[in-house]
A = this chain, B = another copy of it.
Amino acid sequence: MRDTVVMTARQHTGRRRNEAARQAILDSAVNLLRSYDAAAVSVDAIAQDAGVSKQTIYRWWPSKGAVLLEALLDRARVIAPTPDTGDLEADLRLFLINTFEGVADSRPVLLGVLREALVDTDAMTLLAKFAAHRRAALMQIVAQARQRGESLEKTTAALVVDQAFGLLWYRLIFGNATLHKRTATKLARVAVIQLRA
C-alpha cells in the first residue's frame, strides 16, 4: 500500500532475514492500530499493508500479540530513560513526563497490545515482562534516593509505582482524563509526599 508508488519493491535478501520486511511489518502494525478502529487489525491486514506474506510474519513472531508488542517497543518513545538529577521529585517528574508523552500518541498501539494480551497468554507474558521492566525503572529512581540517604519504605515504593502506572493504564483504557505534563508533575509531587510520609 505504502510502497505502491515510489519504491521499486523490496529486494529479496536470500538466506538472511529481510530487515526491510521486518520494518514494514512493524510500521504497518502501528499504522493500522492508529488509523482504523482498533478492532480491525488482523494479521492478514498487516501482511497486505506491509506487502509481505503472512508466513513471513509467523516465521519471526509467535503470534499477533508478539508483533504488536514489538511494534510498540520498536517505536517506543514509551520507554523513558531513568533520570538521575540527585533530587527525588525531579527524577520522578522527568520520568513521568517522558513516559506520559511517549504514551500519549501510542494509545491505540498500547490498547491493541493489551487487547491481544488479554486473549493470548504468550502475548500477556511478554507485556507483563515489559510492564515489570518499566516498574523496575521507576523503582530505580526511588533506590537512587535511598542511596543518597533518604529513608524510604520499600513497600510504599511498590505501591506508589503501581499507582503511577495504574493511573497511566486506567486513563489510557477509559479515556476519562488526559495524561498531561501537568498531571505528571502533580503525580510526582504527591508520590514524594507518600514516599516520605
Contacts and interface: CB of A to CB of B under 8 A. Distances in A.
Given A8-B3, A183-B159, A38 B119 contact: yes
A86 interface: no
Interface of A: 1-3, 8-9, 37-39, 111, 114-115, 118-121, 127-128, 131-132, 135, 155-156, 158-160, 162-171, 173-177, 183, 186-187, 190, 193-194, 197
A8 B171 CA distance: 43
Contact residues of A: prevailing secondary structure: helix
Contacts of A164: 163
Nearest to A13: B53
A148 to B, nearest CB: 22
